[in-house]
Amino acid sequence: MLWVKAFHIIFVVSWFAGLFYLPRLFVNHAMTQDTAVSTQLQVMERKLYRFVTPIGVLALATGLWLWLGYGIAGDWLMAKLFLVVALIAYHLYCAKLLSDFKQGHNTRSHIWYRWFNELPVLILIAVVILVVVKPF
């Protein structure tokens, strides 16, 4: 079980590295008028998204293994799963924003993307408190 939990944490950390960095690329993308910079950012965003998506799937799979395989559960996990669904929605919305930039349809400002970038931080804080402290 501890090996599964260790890899769960490794995949979670790696997933968040991508979820913190991708919106930062969007901030820079929304600020630039330079076509060469925009094209370069598109390539970076696409590669990062393709890299981090399977890692997110592995984070979820190892989490489900801990829950359904080892029977670790509680009200804290139900609250955690609610936040995990929000995180998955955030990840999928990033794909929509990525294609908006690709088609030149982005309407959001770099300020909006700076606030958007903070959402995973709030989810991470809440999930880690729930799973480590298990307040209920």
> Please, which residues have CB within 8 angstroms of residue 115's CB and are 6 or more apart in sequence?
none
> Please, which residues have CB within 8 angstroms of residue 94's CB and are 6 or more apart in sequence?
19, 22, 23, 26, 49
Query: Could you tell me which stretch among 28-36, 44-52, 60-68, 96-104 binds ligand HEM (CB under 6 A)?
Result: 60-68
Residue of 33, 49, 64, 107 interacting with ligand HEM (CB under 6 A): 64
- Residue given tokens 């600020």 in the structure block: 31
8 near ligand HEM, judged by CB under 6 A? yes
Report the candidate in 123, 124, 120, 126 with the shortest Cα–Cα distance to residue 26: 120
Residue of 19, 41, 66, 94 interacting with ligand HEM (CB under 6 A): 66
131 near ligand HEM, judged by CB under 6 A? yes
127 near ligand HEM, judged by CB under 6 A? yes
Instruction: Provide the minimum distance between the beta carbon of 59 and ligand HEM in the complex, in angstroms, as a whole number.
Output: 6
